[in-house]
């Protein structure tokens, strides 16, 4: 195994730590660094976070502009909603929307527990990033474990890194 400094937190570590610490309630049972694909329904709802891409370009003098793309997967066992009285709603749809980007009707702001709220309020990820964008996709196909619903949040951050001794 490659040795790591305790200060060497990756972007994935930072995202998982933020989601764990600022969720405001214990809805998610498990947080994965990467996607294990086979997830027991007893571990759902859960979050899997993966680094999809790193793009490095020459930036200002002595700097590189680094763009990283992360995929945050919210994975939910829809059977938890089977006892809902609302027969006009597809099971799990509202739950996924609420977890990803729910809006507080009183303030019209993101609800504090949502992924959108947590990431947007921590825009720089503790001075790790200079910019961020998000793209949220719903209706991801179920996993083999059973009747699941997924929401994929593609999260892109930019930062500048010092390149010492560039010639």
Q: Over the stretch 83-107, which tens digit does the pLDDT of each residue have?
A: 666 667 666 778 888 889 989 999 9
**Does residue 159 fall inside a structural domain?**
no
d(CA 113, CA 74): 13
- Which has the closest alpha carbon to 141: 129, 133, 149? 149
Write out the DSSP string of 88-113. TS-TTHHHHHHHHH-B-TTT-SBPTT
Q: What is the DSSP code (8-state) at residue 143? A: P
Give the total number of structural domains in the chain. 1
d(CA 14, CA 32): 13
Contact 57, 132 (CB under 8 A): no
Banded model confidence at residue 32, pLDDT cuts 50, 70, 90: very high
* CATH code at position 135: 3.30.70
Average pLDDT, the chain: 84
Q: What is the pTM of this model?
A: 0.84
pLDDT tens for each residue of 113-127: 888 888 888 877 766
Range of the domain at 91: 11-145
Give the residue with greater pLDDT, 36 vs 26: 36
**Does residue 162 fall inside a structural domain?**
no
**Does residue 80 fall inside a structural domain?**
yes
């Amino acid at each position: 195994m490659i040795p790591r400094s305790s200060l060497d937190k990756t972007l994935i570590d930072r995202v998982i730590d933020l989601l764990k610490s600022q969720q405001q309630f214990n809805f998610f049972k498990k947080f994965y660094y990467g996607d294990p694909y086979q997830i027991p329904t007893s571990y759902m709802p859960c979050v899997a976070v993966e680094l999809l891409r790193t793009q490095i370009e020459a930036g200002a003098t002595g700097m590189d502009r680094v763009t990283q793309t992360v995929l945050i997967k919210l994975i939910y066992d829809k059977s938890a909603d089977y006892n809902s009285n609302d027969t006009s709603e597809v099971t799990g749809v509202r739950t996924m929307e609420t977890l990803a980007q729910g809006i507080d009707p009183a303030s019209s702001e993101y609800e504090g527990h949502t992924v959108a709220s947590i990431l947007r309020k921590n825009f720089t990820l503790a001075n790790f990033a200079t910019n961020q964008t998000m793209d949220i996709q719903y209706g991801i196909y179920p996993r083999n474990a059973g009747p699941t619903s997924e929401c994929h949040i593609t999260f892109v951050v930019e930062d500048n890194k010092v390149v010492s001794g560039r010639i």
